[in-house]
Structure 1
Amino acid sequence: MCGLPAMFAALFVIMLVTLGWRWFYVAAVTCRRDFTALWAYIKLLMLIKLCERKNLNIGDVFEKKALKHPDKLAIISETQRWTFKQLYEFSKHVSIAFQRHGYQKGDVIGLLLENRAEYVGLWLGLSRLGVITALINTNLKGPSLRHSINVAKCSALIYGEEFADEIEHIANDIPAKLYQFNNGVNKPVRESATDLATLLQSVRHMEFTRASVNAPNHHDKLMYIYTSGTTGLPKAAIISHSRYMFIAAGIHFTLNFKIKDIYYTPLPLYHTAGGVMSIGQAILFGSTVAIRKKFSASCYFADCVRFKCTVAQYIGEMARYILATSSTQYDRRHKIRMIFGNGLRPKIWQSFVKRFNIPKVGEFYGATEGNANIINNDNTIGAIGFISRIFPGVYPISIIKADPDTGAPIRGADGLCQRCVPGEAGVFIGKIIKGNPSREFLGYADESASSKKIARDVFKKGDMAFISGDLLTSDERGYLYFVDRTGDTFRWKGENVSTSEVEAQVSHLALYKDTIVYGVAIPNTEGRAGMAAIYDPERQLNVDHFAYEMSKVLPSYARPQFLRILTKLDITGTFKLRKVDLQREGYNPHVINDTLFYKTSSGSYQLLTSEVFDEINEGRIRF
């Protein structure tokens, strides 16, 4: 017995010498954070393993919740209050209708619809058939919209009446069969389209029979969610049934959500944040989710009060907009115990939670298609998550040294990647382990795009990792902080914008002139605003016509906020347009001799003078 204490003492001395006393200090101050996260991770894996063993798909899980409490509210909004029974019945009618139209497992159907209860019912119903739903960004127009439908190989498209005009412009360029959702409004349906409301009404008294369907498996594809990247047009990221469960359940356990919570999300349901993280709480856990057709800063907390919400979702831009509104009676009348989301700027973090009396913030970080997803579970201001210093191998994520412009890993003499030390910025990666839902990388519908997000021979020969494309840094305790994006994308209005996609459209509208698009920072504004530098020494560009045409082909967040008319080009040694210097100069007329324009609230472009520059930087002109 006397030897046991001596053995532990010797072990402690060895660890002290090997790890240093600072390791013990860090372990002591972070152990609660790490053990809380570890327990949540264990519960998550237990749930996922159970669903995997029983081969449950999303439809199976939702059906159990709907039958358990049919009269409980599932989805509510300004105009709708749908119970679980209503949502289940609607999804069943969708399954019957599209089964009768010949759709089966593996087919892809696009969904272009505004936030409403039917949105969820449509993809739920299609999922029971094994049909993959492509959730299309409602801001897309023209070429981007056409590409999103075609790249996913959609054999059909369900679109809301509000998008009829956009579909009219591209209908002849897409092979998909069209279904128009009119929601009871007698708007003419395109001759080649099917009236979805009438179709669903015709099958209301029919029963859905499981035996006649080749049901999807746990690991089968459920949906495509589009994400922009460095390759140009939107990419369709694969979300399987297991992946959907992992994302929704992961944030549920990590942030200690409760089944009795009522969630508020004004985010679009075609994105992972609103459509998986929030709606997933209803699908998987039987909670109530309040949605909104379109985000309103002034109505945010008024909605939370109206719907009696206890958990609310945000993205960084939202928080800033909400904080900029005038004080109202709803600022502190709500019952919100937690807000969760991504992009809450450290500079406004404390002001936001103090004004609106928010007990806890659950800041998370992650990519729709990625496996490097993290959450700040202990309210640490500014942190987007953490890497455990006690259990670094449990959730294998890392920050590696990389070129800040290209995101390419910087390798050592042995050809392997190098980890960053605390305080050093690098690219965030997640180890890929096939067959593990927390470590799998499912990629995109376009397989060629998937390979570009994978790094091989990372820390040893033969291993693989998902490259996030984002620069992060860590501190001594393992907390992670966002620095910037790498490569040819920038983030504006909560959306990732591909510079190459915008460049293609700008160049086309500017009669194929050389064009460079990049993101520029505006003081006290989240993200980076788009700026286009167009080589037009003879000043032939009509900016009014350009603005009008741009509004027809690009969503508002992707349109350049600034224009620079170049009179000369700076070409690199590899015959590429030099972007770094232009980005550094931004929209500053004090250092730029070229003509500059800025986009007004009306959508037109006006001359950017020194006086205007000062007004922008002082916040008197907003974007």
Structure 2
Amino acid sequence: MRLKAQLEREWRFLKGLNRTLKRVKTIAPDSPNLLCDDLQAAVTAWRDRPALTFEGKTISYGEMDAIANRYAHWAKSLNLRRGQTVALFMPNRLEYFPIWYGLSKVGVITALINNQLAGAPLLHCLNISGASHVIVDAETSPVFEGVKSQTERHMQQWVLGAAHGDQRDLVQALKSCSQLPPDRSVREDMTARDTCLFIYTSGTTGLPKAARITHLRAQLYMRGFAGSTGATDKDRVYVTLPLYHATGGLCGLGAALLNGGSAVIRKKFSASHFWEEVAAEGCTMFVYIGELGRYLVNGPPGAADTAHKVRLAFGNGLRADVWAELQQRFHIPEVLEFYGSTEGNVSMFNFDGRVGAIGRAPKWLRNRFNIRLVQFDVEAEAPVRSVSGFCVECGPGQIGECLGKIGGDARSEYSGYVDKAASDKKILRDVFEKGDAWFRTGDLMKTDIDGYFYFVDRIGDTFRWKGENVSTSEVAERLSAVPGVAEANIYGVEVPETDGKAGMAGLVVDEAFDLKAFGDHVARELPPYAQPVFLRLLPAIETTGTFKYRKLDLVADGFDPGRIKNPLFYKDPTKGYVKLTKAGYAKILAGGVKL
């Protein structure tokens, strides 16, 4: 029985891998075939089939292409040339994907700006895009108005809605633009190495960086997921993630549109409406990221929980403690977890559904993957080098940083960020031999003997306390299992005259939470060095648009009751968790409390 299960697992892995490689093997950096050519071929094949649905309105492939063509001709009318940039600052809507698809037909780059940004972060993203035109709607126009006087260059604002003052009416401008494709010669001499999009990092630890997404990289995303998901023209993908992010905007749409299927796009994620919409729209797949799965399992039971046709959920960041419950409660036959970074050259899939694994690179296929784990010094925040000067590869069970070897082929090429200095900082040289170059993912992982990879933590999130490394991800997973704990965000805080950083947990709790029971669970399930020293009860945990926890402000607040209004507790060595007062805080700073 064990051998049979192993053979079935290997068969599923190889089947998924072959499906994926078959779709990406013809992609080449110097090819004149661009992403818009892939999409144009899909339009030709399935012109009359439904492509996109948004808020009750559905458009066909042909109608989607006609919208895209209008934007292409609009860009030409402004004398925008290949390599120039237009900023797209809008929430999810029906036109979102056709806009950048259309601009790519004339070689214009689209900077996909996070529509949740405002103030300094928004200004930063607009400035580094280099755009002289920005597309907004009624929701984002007032936000742009708040920063437009501070932009480094004049940015003409085009509004999908009522225009005022120096704004221009984009709807009116598009009426005079042709619905026919622009001549192919307009992008003559362009190759897949040319830039298609700027997609920004989440900015969880600082200002976002603009990743340069070439046509090649976008093709890898879209074609890769068209293959890995096994999608067909009968599939309907529910996309509730922001389209400014690669997982929703490229992976999710690629699975649908390059196979003749369709995508149902929602303006933003809603746990309370998720399953009823999935069922009503006849969706067969959905794409997830981050904590989306936890929000679903934390929701109340509903009649639509299992009254749907979903056969596959695919995405990244599904925590092991949520995975099994998500599948069982909502009757999801398969989960396809993957790992990848927007700007990097590392990608892998967990084709056979091993719970908790982010991907697999078995030893017998080692040379087909450009991925290696190297030993890492958490305190120095740098890979360990031996006396030879080279890095030391991790064995099964050892935690290390994941690297991707940089090469000249489509799958190993590194396009980096718009900022060259930021790009260079992500490259590690002379790793295993003189002159080699590897992309640093910034993620700590471990493997098992079967070649499965498991995410451990983000570098900078892992911290040392009492001479031991503490993984925030692993601690959060243990704490989330405590009754009454809805969410847990773990980080390290500085304590004067102590070794390393003390663990602190920001918790969202409900009426079932009991402080003593929580303390008992912590003492039982975690080693002493990993037990949170401080607790902070939060009404909600702030996240990015892709459900990644923000930690910067929490770390800055530390454990000071003078600046924190939420309930605070610390772990007394004899009493367990007790309330942290200003007097207690002063005593800790003076070294009067043993932590």
TM over 0.5: yes
Q: Which one of 138, 149, 164 corresponds to residue 172 of structure 1? A: 149
* Partner SS, residue 294 of structure 2: helix
Shift of 1:397: 0.6
2:196–2:215 CA contact under 8 A, matched in 1: yes
> Which whole-Å CA distance do the structure 2 matches of 1:267 and 1:481 have between them?
24
Shift of 1:274: 0.2
2:159 aligned partner: 181
> Which whole-Å CA distance do the structure 2 matches of 1:320 and 1:602 have between them?
13
* Partner SS, residue 238 of structure 2: strand
How has the CA–CA distance of structure 1 residues 268 and 399 changed in structure 2, closer, same or farther, with 3 Å as cutoff? Answer: same
Shift of 1:530: 8.0
Which amino acid in the other structure matches residue 40 of structure 1?
R
1:599–1:605 CA contact under 8 A, matched in 2: no
Q: Which one of 59, 62, 67 corresponds to residue 82 of structure 1? A: 59
> Which whole-Å CA distance do the structure 2 matches of 1:367 and 1:207 have between them?
32
Q: Which runs of 5+ in 1 are unaligned?
A: 1-23, 491-517, 534-565, 572-577, 617-623
2:375–2:401 CA contact under 8 A, matched in 1: yes
Shift of 1:285: 3.0
Q: Which one of 133, 158, 161 corresponds to residue 138 of structure 2? A: 161
How has the CA–CA distance of structure 1 residues 123 and 140 changed in structure 2, closer, same or farther, with 3 Å as cutoff? Answer: same
Which amino acid in the other structure matches residue 425 of structure 2?
K
Which amino acid in the other structure matches residue 46 of structure 1?
K
* Partner SS, residue 339 of structure 1: strand
2:451 aligned partner: 478
Which amino acid in the other structure matches residue 159 of structure 2?
F
How has the CA–CA distance of structure 1 residues 339 and 615 changed in structure 2, closer, same or farther, with 3 Å as cutoff? Answer: farther
2:126 aligned partner: 149
Which amino acid in the other structure matches residue 451 of structure 1?
D
1:426–1:473 CA contact under 8 A, matched in 2: yes
1:290 aligned partner: 264
Which amino acid in the other structure matches residue 606 of structure 1?
K
Shift of 1:413: 1.1
> Which whole-Å CA distance do the structure 2 matches of 1:350 and 1:385 have between them?
17
> Which whole-Å CA distance do the structure 1 matches of 2:569 and 2:505 have between them?
14
- Residue by residue over 1:400-434, the C-alpha shift from the partner in whole angstroms, topping out at 9 and shown as x without a partner, is 10123554110111111111111111111111102
Shift of 1:216: 3.7
1:278 aligned partner: 252
Q: Give the 5 Å matches for 1:48-197.
A: 48-49=27-28, 55-174=32-151, 175-183=153-161, 186=162, 189-197=163-171
Q: Does 1:39 align with 2:18?
A: yes
Q: Which one of 525, 550, 565 corresponds to residue 606 of structure 1? A: 565
Which amino acid in the other structure matches residue 448 of structure 2?
D
Shift of 1:133: 0.6
How has the CA–CA distance of structure 1 residues 66 and 269 changed in structure 2, closer, same or farther, with 3 Å as cutoff? Answer: same
Shift of 1:351: 1.5
Q: Does 1:396 align with 2:387?
A: no
1:243 aligned partner: 217
> Which whole-Å CA distance do the structure 2 matches of 1:449 and 1:140 have between them?
21
Shift of 1:143: 0.7
How has the CA–CA distance of structure 1 residues 488 and 581 changed in structure 2, closer, same or farther, with 3 Å as cutoff? Answer: closer
Give aligned-pair identity as a percent.
Answer: 33
Shift of 1:60: 1.8
- Residue by residue over 1:79-115, the C-alpha shift from the partner in whole angstroms, topping out at 9 and shown as x without a partner, is 3211111111111111111111110101011111111
> Which whole-Å CA distance do the structure 2 matches of 1:167 and 1:289 have between them?
29
How has the CA–CA distance of structure 1 residues 256 and 454 changed in structure 2, closer, same or farther, with 3 Å as cutoff? Answer: same
Deviates more, 1:153-162 or 1:271-280: 153-162
Shift of 1:324: 1.6
TM-score (norm 1): 0.75
Shift of 1:78: 2.1
How has the CA–CA distance of structure 1 residues 208 and 26 changed in structure 2, closer, same or farther, with 3 Å as cutoff? Answer: closer
1:366–1:372 CA contact under 8 A, matched in 2: yes
Q: Which runs of 5+ in 2 are unaligned?
A: 464-471, 508-514, 520-527, 543-562, 571-575, 580-595
Q: Which one of 441, 444, 450 corresponds to residue 414 of structure 2? A: 441
Shift of 1:233: 1.3
Deviates more, 1:520-529 or 1:161-170: 520-529
1:470–1:484 CA contact under 8 A, matched in 2: yes
1:432–1:466 CA contact under 8 A, matched in 2: yes
Q: Which one of 427, 432, 435 corresponds to residue 454 of structure 1? A: 427
- Residue by residue over 1:534-584, the C-alpha shift from the partner in whole angstroms, topping out at 9 and shown as x without a partner, is xxxxxxxxxxxxxxxxxxxxxxxxxxxxxxxx9xx848xxxxxx9942445
> Which whole-Å CA distance do the structure 2 matches of 1:364 and 1:402 have between them?
23
Which amino acid in the other structure matches residue 131 of structure 2?
C
1:225–1:272 CA contact under 8 A, matched in 2: yes
* Partner SS, residue 374 of structure 1: strand
Which amino acid in the other structure matches residue 123 of structure 1?
W
- Residue by residue over 1:21-42, the C-alpha shift from the partner in whole angstroms, topping out at 9 and shown as x without a partner, is xxx9999686435533542354
How has the CA–CA distance of structure 1 residues 582 and 270 changed in structure 2, closer, same or farther, with 3 Å as cutoff? Answer: same
> Which whole-Å CA distance do the structure 2 matches of 1:205 and 1:37 have between them?
38
> Which whole-Å CA distance do the structure 1 matches of 2:183 and 2:247 have between them?
33
How has the CA–CA distance of structure 1 residues 398 and 213 changed in structure 2, closer, same or farther, with 3 Å as cutoff? Answer: closer
> Which whole-Å CA distance do the structure 2 matches of 1:301 and 1:614 have between them?
39
2:283–2:310 CA contact under 8 A, matched in 1: yes
Q: Which one of 383, 387, 392 corresponds to residue 409 of structure 1? A: 383
Shift of 1:450: 0.3
Which amino acid in the other structure matches residue 565 of structure 2?
Q
2:17–2:351 CA contact under 8 A, matched in 1: no
Q: Give the 5 Å matches for 1:157-556.
A: 157-174=134-151, 175-183=153-161, 186=162, 189-204=163-178, 208-211=182-185, 216-228=190-202, 232-405=206-379, 407-434=381-408, 436-487=409-460, 521=476, 523-524=479-480, 529=489
> Which whole-Å CA distance do the structure 2 matches of 1:472 and 1:580 have between them?
22
2:573 aligned partner: none
1:230–1:488 CA contact under 8 A, matched in 2: no
* Partner SS, residue 421 of structure 1: coil
TM-score (norm 2): 0.79
2:85–2:108 CA contact under 8 A, matched in 1: yes
> Which whole-Å CA distance do the structure 1 matches of 2:286 and 2:534 have between them?
44
* Partner SS, residue 446 of structure 2: strand
How has the CA–CA distance of structure 1 residues 209 and 217 changed in structure 2, closer, same or farther, with 3 Å as cutoff? Answer: same
Paired positions, count: 518
2:239–2:266 CA contact under 8 A, matched in 1: yes
How has the CA–CA distance of structure 1 residues 368 and 181 changed in structure 2, closer, same or farther, with 3 Å as cutoff? Answer: same
> Which whole-Å CA distance do the structure 2 matches of 1:450 and 1:347 have between them?
34
* Partner SS, residue 191 of structure 1: coil
Shift of 1:172: 1.0
* Partner SS, residue 382 of structure 2: coil
How has the CA–CA distance of structure 1 residues 39 and 600 changed in structure 2, closer, same or farther, with 3 Å as cutoff? Answer: closer
2:338–2:348 CA contact under 8 A, matched in 1: yes
Shift of 1:300: 1.3
- Residue by residue over 1:150-180, the C-alpha shift from the partner in whole angstroms, topping out at 9 and shown as x without a partner, is 1121222112221122211110111242333
How has the CA–CA distance of structure 1 residues 430 and 25 changed in structure 2, closer, same or farther, with 3 Å as cutoff? Answer: farther
2:547 aligned partner: none
> Which whole-Å CA distance do the structure 2 matches of 1:70 and 1:35 have between them?
33
Deviates more, 1:282-291 or 1:91-100: 282-291
- Residue by residue over 1:322-364, the C-alpha shift from the partner in whole angstroms, topping out at 9 and shown as x without a partner, is 1122222211111111111112221222111111111110011
> Which whole-Å CA distance do the structure 1 matches of 2:380 and 2:266 have between them?
38
* Partner SS, residue 389 of structure 2: coil
* Partner SS, residue 166 of structure 1: helix
What RMSD in Å do the two structures reach over aligned CA positions? 3.6
Deviates more, 1:405-414 or 1:441-450: 405-414
